[in-house]
A and B are shown apart, each in its own frame.
Chain A
Amino acid sequence: MTRFSEKEQRVAAFALLGFGAAAAIPLVDDGYYLSLSVNIAMYAVLCTAWTLFSGPTHYISLATAAFFGIGTYTVGLGIDSLPFPLLLAIAGIAAAILAGLVGVATLRLSGVYFVIFTLGLAELVRQVVTWLQTNFTTSVGLYVFTDMTEKHIFWMLLALAAIVYATGWLINRSRLGFAMRIIGNDETVARHVGIDVARSKVILFMVSGAFIGITGAILAPRFAYVEPPSAFNPVISFQVVIMALLGGTGRLWAPLLGVIPFTILFDRISSSFPNHTSLLIGVAFMAIVYFLPRGVIGLIEDFRKPRAGKAGTVAPVPEAAE
């Protein structure tokens, strides 16, 4: 952990350049392209946070909308009484607690139980929130008025993205990341070498959930009016899965390759054919499963491997390529 290898220094330089360029976007345009960039940044954070957990474990989480909505709601409830940064922290903690509860109940069992449980989680939380609001408060919706504009939201998302990438990189180097790679390859082996499999999964799921909750909190000022059906919109969960799988889940930055094209495509389709979005999501799922099972990153690795072989060097082993 003391010194960075040459490759790591290069990656860090590229990352700094990329973030610098991205941070300059609001200075150039503050209309359509900024709004598109906010979407891309939001999905980049969501998909990367999703991949932190689902990449190594191969558990498909559909709980994104639930964590996202909790974050949005935290801001909606507290915006008049508490400072915004504190709300972000609370949102992260609340989402992590929910993730922990879900994890403890389902992550000891096989992946199918987890998928089913998370599938309904957003709907469940929505029902409970609606019930609480109609019975104990006066109105169903909440207003979020701040003086924050799109560009502030965008910068906050970029900062969060940087934190997510740094966290992912640190986890990869830590004992937890090493344990996760073993679990992903073979759970039985992992258990035999003394890894507490369930605990590692729950911790990772909580980290991932916390980031998704904070993203929801950051985006709350953009919605201005928060109500259960819009905050817990289940489509977000599916979009995140598609984008992350389209990019590939084997590497930390791979989901980005899926986020950028899909966000642009989805934006175009939903503005010109608003009734075709679910058809688009369906076709995208099918196409990924049948033609791109390893995502765009898989294509790139296939393309690079033969050339590396020809040059007489050893091809880099793609870690967790499945």
Chain B
Amino acid sequence: MDILITGTVLGGTYALIALGLTLQYGVARIMNLANGENLVLACFCAFWLYTAASINPVIGIAIIAPAAFLLNWLIYVYAMKPLVDRAKNRGQLEVDSILATFGLMFIMQGVMLLVFGGSYFSYNFLSEPVRILGANYGLNRIVALGAAVVIAAGLYLFLYRTRYGTAIRAVSVSPSSASLVAINVPRASAFAFALGGALTAAGGALLSTFYTFNSSMGVIFTMKALIIVIMGGVGDVRGAVLAALLLGLAETAVASLIDPGLTLAATYTLFIIVLLIRPQGIFGRQTA
């Protein structure tokens, strides 16, 4: 039971990060390896807002997410767009974007190391216990899970119930056909990339309320997010949420039953199983 709830909370935060990445990779076709750094940056912003201006992190999302949206928009337009225009095919864009976002990852990490140093940060926010089914949990975790659910539901409604959301899903299926039905593909891609960044930042702000973070942990989160995206199927919102919960549960189970040092091994085991059995993702369809 303890594993179930802790795992769900962890999975909820993973879900936001993975949703951000699945938008960036599924729609904008950019494999953004700097996504984890984006998350860590949001952690630091939430920390700074809370300690310096005593702004509640959940409300702080209202500041952090738009800021991340703007930052990622600029990254897409000035750094990724030239690569998209230059690439002759999808494979080359993949290689180029992976290398460029590696550069971005190290630059963001280097800047954060200079500003904040390499030590671990955390702060106390709503760290009072609540009793659920006879066991105690931190209120901050429950609040974070609630906020994650609200944000994910909002994204789902936007993508499946609005006109622009449908346009974005069309681009994710086929950019060339989307432009035939009068969708502005470059703009939709930039929008999806920026929205993905904002989602990840929201996940980071929530994560910072109960997690100890430091400047160089981004890459681990990027990797977990990537694995979730692949497990769920690229560009698939429901798949990403389900895969994130699975991963959160698996990690918590391994950490509490076997050894906390083996969480990555758990992640990889899941990853290998998915690659061997359903490489197209949980809900993905086999493409010829």
Report whether A124 and B103 are in contact in the complex, using a CB–CB cutoff of 8 Å: no
**CB–CB B103/A285 < 8 A:** yes
B262 touches A293 (CB 8 A): no
Q: Which residue of B lies closest to A115 (CB)?
A: B98
B201-232 toward A: CB 8 Å interface, digit per residue (1/0)? 00000000000000010011001001100100
CB of B95 within 8 A of CB of A286, answer no
A286 to chain B, nearest CB (A): 4
A112 proximal to B (CB < 8 A): yes
- Knowing A105-B275, A116-B226 are in contact, say whether A286-B262 is a contact too (CB < 8 A): no
Q: With A238-B102, A289-B83, A290-B100 in contact, is A282–B261 under 8 Å at CB?
A: no
B275 touches A285 (CB 8 A): no
A residues 265-322 near B (Cβ < 8 Å) are 275-290, 293, 322
Q: Is residue A152 contacting chain B, with contact meaning CB distance below 8 A? A: no
Contact of A293 among B96, B98, B216 (CB under 8 A): B96
Within the complex, what minimum Cβ distance (angstroms) separates B38 from chain A?
A: 14
Q: Is the CB of B82 within 8 A of A282?
A: no
Complex contact B106–A113 (CB within 8 A) = no
In the assembled complex, which residues on chain B have CB atoms less than 8 Å from the CB atom of A253? none
Number of interface residues of B (CB under 8 A): 44
Q: Which of A58, A123, A282 contacts B103 (CB 8 A)?
A: A282
CA distance A238 to B98 in the complex (A): 12
User: Which residue from B106, B219, B267 sits with its C-beta under 8 Å from A282?
Assistant: B106
Q: Flag whether A169 is at the interface (Cβ < 8 A).
A: no
Cβ A286 vs Cβ B103 within 8 A: yes
- Which residue on A lies nearest to B118, using beta carbons? A275
Choose, from B66-74, B107-115, B156-164, B241-249, the stretch at the interface.
B107-115
Q: Of the candidates B91, B103, B223, B262, which one forms a contact with A111 in the assembled complex, judged by CB atoms under 8 Å apart?
A: B91
B105 touches A282 (CB 8 A): yes
User: In the bound complex, do residue B110 and residue A279 qualify as a contact, i.e. CB atoms below 8 Å apart?
Assistant: yes
A117, CB-defined interface residue at 8 Å:
yes
Question: Contacting chain B: which of A43-51, A68-76, A126-134, A207-215?
Answer: A126-134
Given the complex of chains A and B, what is the CA–CA distance between A238 and B161 in angstroms?
A: 42
Q: A58-B91, A60-B98, A113-B279 are in contact. Are A127 and B264 (CB under 8 A)?
A: yes
Q: With an 8 A cutoff between CB atoms, is B265 at the interface? A: yes
A131 to B260, CA, bound (A): 10
Contacts of B95 in A (CB 8 A): 58, 60, 111
Q: Does B271 count as interface, using CB distance less than 8 angstroms?
A: yes
A44 to B207, CA, bound (A): 42
**In the complex where A279-B110, A282-B110 touch, is A111 in contact with B94 (Cβ < 8 A)?**
yes
Interface check A245, CB cutoff 8 A: yes
Report B110-159 residues with CB < 8 Å from chain A CB.
110-111, 113-114
Of chain A, the residue at the smallest CB distance from B109 is A278
> Contact: A109 with B279, CB < 8 Å?
yes
Cα(A111)–Cα(B83), bound, Å: 18
In the complex, chain A residues 87-124 whose Cβ is within 8 Å of any chain B Cβ: 105-106, 109, 111-113, 115-117, 119-120, 123-124
Q: Is B31 an interface residue (CB 8 A)?
A: yes
Q: Which residues of B contact A245 (CB under 8 A)?
A: 99
Residues of chain B lying within 8 A (CB to CB) of residue A120: 223, 264, 267-268
| A134 neighbours in B (Cβ, 8 Å) | 261
Contact code string A125-150 (vs B, CB < 8 Å = 1, else 0): 00110110011000000000000000
Contact indicator B106/A279 (Cβ below 8 Å): yes
Whole-angstrom distance between the Cβ of A94 and the nearest chain B Cβ: 18
Cβ–Cβ < 8 Å partners of B92 in chain A: 322
Known contacts A124-B268, A285-B100, A285-B103; A109/B220 CB under 8 A: no
Beta-carbon contacts under 8 Å, B246-288 to A: 259, 261-265, 267-268, 271-272, 275-276, 279
A290 contact set on B, CB distance < 8 A:
82, 100
Interchain CA distance A134-B259 in the complex, whole Å: 11
List residues of chain B with CB within 8 A of the CB of A284. 103
Contact with A along B157-183 (1 / 0, CB 8 A): 000000000000000000000000000
Contact A278 to B113, CB < 8 A, known contacts A113-B275, A285-B99, A290-B100: yes
Q: State A227–B77 Cα separation when bound (angstroms).
A: 43
Give the docked Cα–Cα distance between A117 and B271 (Å).
Answer: 9
Query: Would you call B104 an interface residue if the criterion is a C-beta within 8 Å of the partner chain's C-beta atoms?
Result: yes
Query: Could you say which residues of chain B place their CB within 8 Å of the CB of A111?
Result: 91, 94-95
Q: Mark A34-67, 1 if CB is under 8 A from B, else 0.
A: 0000000000000000000000001010000000
Residues of A within 8 A of B (CB): 58, 60, 105-106, 109, 111-113, 115-117, 119-120, 123-124, 127-128, 130-131, 134-135, 234, 238, 241, 245, 275-290, 293, 322
Extra inter-chain contacts (12) besides given A60-B98, A124-B264, CB under 8 Å: A116-B227, A123-B223, A124-B265, A127-B264, A241-B102, A276-B114, A278-B107, A279-B106, A284-B103, A285-B102, A288-B99, A289-B99
A-B contact pairs, 28 of them (CB 8 A): A58-B91, A58-B95, A60-B98, A112-B31, A117-B271, A117-B275, A120-B264, A123-B220, A123-B223, A124-B268, A127-B262, A131-B259, A131-B265, A135-B259, A234-B219, A241-B102, A278-B216, A279-B106, A281-B106, A282-B106, A282-B107, A283-B103, A286-B103, A286-B107, A289-B96, A289-B100, A290-B100, A293-B96
